[in-house]
């Protein structure tokens, strides 16, 4: 779309919004407050993006049922959905369309993969549009931006939290601590960030020696060479960091073919998406654990059931619960700013001090100067009888952890 066409489109959108607002005002109804979801709804990452949309829709529904934004006359939230596509270039173009075609947006959430979020946030920062994200990369909040807010623990922080828990669990249930580890990772930003932190001291801190590291570009066509390296290294543990479901499938199947049996610990949700069961034998998944930013937890059973009843989702991944929580976070900040202004919302988010978080694990609803949510922790999930169950934190666990059998 040319610049002239974008300007004409934006002008038309403003006119339409003005007419809608006038009509709503005439009926005594407050104008909706528009928030955006920018996430992949097409291409190889479409499923996670679609689940983010489900969470956002449930969140909008519940915020509005609770009275909307009370200090703005009960104004309801309204969701604008933007497809980021499945590449950094597409995500950048989508972010540019979002700010041009949705001038009424006060904030947005997205964009799933850290590499997409890094690109999208360059655009939203220039537009002064607050962006909430569950993406993991440490780089996201390392650039001095004023309008980016990371609700999850960063990749490095997640590895720092998860590794001691994993090692203690192994020792508690087997009587000994693992000594060696292999890593398989794709080259997406969050995965590489986790591995970087591990290699810069975390592995040594917990007494693990790295015997093999394999990095690949998704999507994979053949996992043979990767699995051969694991077999040669004979590690006590495998850290498993793909972000595409098809890649997880290929690697696990090749491990079975080569009879590579090693306790497998993942980072992220590619190993625990519901559609994994469409193509992967549940026996291959049994016992696999994963450290993820968020998951359906104790106390959220009713919401998990609604997601299943409404959309047919068998369990609640981080993409649904975090994006659901983002709608409530927008409400909290909008009640503080009592404004439809982007700058007002960003200021409210930066200064927010709303106590313990309800829909994100650990910490509070507050952010430091860089935009990290203070005290953000994680969940650890484990495949048990065909379902990935939350097993940590224990206070929020839906099942007890069991050390994976080699």
User: Cis before residue 393, ω within 30 degrees of 0?
Assistant: yes
Model pTM score: 0.85
One DSSP character per residue, 225-265 reads: HHHHHHHHH--SEEEEE--SHHHHHHHHHHHHHTT----EE
Domains of the chain: 32-153+299-375 (3.40.50.2300), 156-292+380-396 (3.40.50.2300)
Report DSSP state, residue 200: I
- In tens, the pLDDT along 261-318 reads 999 999 888 889 888 888 888 999 999 999 999 999 999 999 999 999 999 999 999 9
- In tens, the pLDDT along 48-71 reads 999 999 999 999 999 999 999 999
At 17 the pLDDT is: 45
Nearest-angstrom CA–CA distance, 114 and 35: 20
Neighbours of 215 (CB within 10 A): 14
Least reliable range by pLDDT among 153-162, 250-259, 319-328, 352-361 = 153-162
At 27 the pLDDT is: 59
Neighbours of 336 (CB within 10 A): 18
Whether the pLDDT of residue 11 is over 50: the answer is: no
């Amino acid at each position: 779309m040319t610049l002239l066409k974008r300007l004409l489109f934006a002008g038309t959108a403003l006119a339409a919004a003005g007419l809608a607002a006038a009509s709503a005002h005439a009926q005594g109804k407050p104008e909706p407050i528009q928030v955006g979801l920018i996430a992949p709804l097409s291409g190889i990452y479409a499923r996670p993006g679609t689940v983010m949309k489900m969470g956002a829709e449930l969140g909008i529904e519940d915020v509005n049922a609770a009275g909307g934004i009370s200090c703005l006359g009960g104004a309801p939230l309204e969701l604008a959905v933007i497809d980021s596509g499945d590449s950094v270039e597409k995500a950048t173009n989508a972010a540019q369309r979002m700010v041009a075609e949705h001038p009424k947006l006060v904030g947005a959430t997205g964009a799933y993969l850290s590499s997409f979020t890094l690109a999208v946030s360059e655009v939203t920062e220039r537009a002064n549009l607050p962006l909430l994200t569950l993406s993991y990369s440490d780089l996201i909040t390392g650039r001095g931006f004023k309008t980016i807010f990371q609700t999850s623990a960063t990749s490095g922080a997640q590895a720092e939290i998860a590794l001691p828990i994993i090692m203690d669990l192994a020792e508690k249930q087997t009587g000994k601590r693992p000594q060696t580890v292999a890593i398989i990772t794709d080259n997406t930003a969050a995965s590489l960030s986790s591995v970087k932190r591990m290699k810069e001291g975390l592995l040594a801190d917990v007494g693990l020696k790295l015997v093999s590291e394999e990095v690949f570009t998704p999507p994979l066509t053949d996992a043979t060479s990767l699995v051969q390296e694991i077999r040669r290294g004979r590690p006590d543990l495998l850290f498993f960091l793909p972000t595409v479901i098809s890649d997880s499938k290929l690697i696990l199947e090749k491990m079975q073919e080569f009879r590579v049996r090693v306790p497998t610990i993942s980072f992220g949700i590619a190993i625990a998406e519901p559609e994994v069961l469409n193509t992967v034998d549940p026996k291959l998944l049994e016992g696999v654990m994963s450290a993820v930013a968020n998951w359906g937890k104790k106390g959220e059973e009713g919401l998990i059931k609604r997601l299943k009843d409404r959309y047919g989702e068998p369990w609640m991944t981080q993409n649904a619960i975090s994006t659901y929580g983002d709608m409530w976070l927008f409400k909290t900040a909008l009640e503080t700013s009592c404004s439809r202004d982007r700058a007002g919302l960003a200021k409210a988010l930066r200064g927010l001090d709303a106590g313990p978080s309800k829909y994100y694990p650990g910490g509070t609803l507050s952010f430091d100067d860089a935009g990290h949510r203070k005290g953000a922790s994680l969940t650890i999930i484990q495949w048990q009888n065909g379902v990935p169950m939350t097993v940590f934190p224990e206070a929020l666990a839906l099942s007890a952890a069991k050390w994976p059998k080699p």
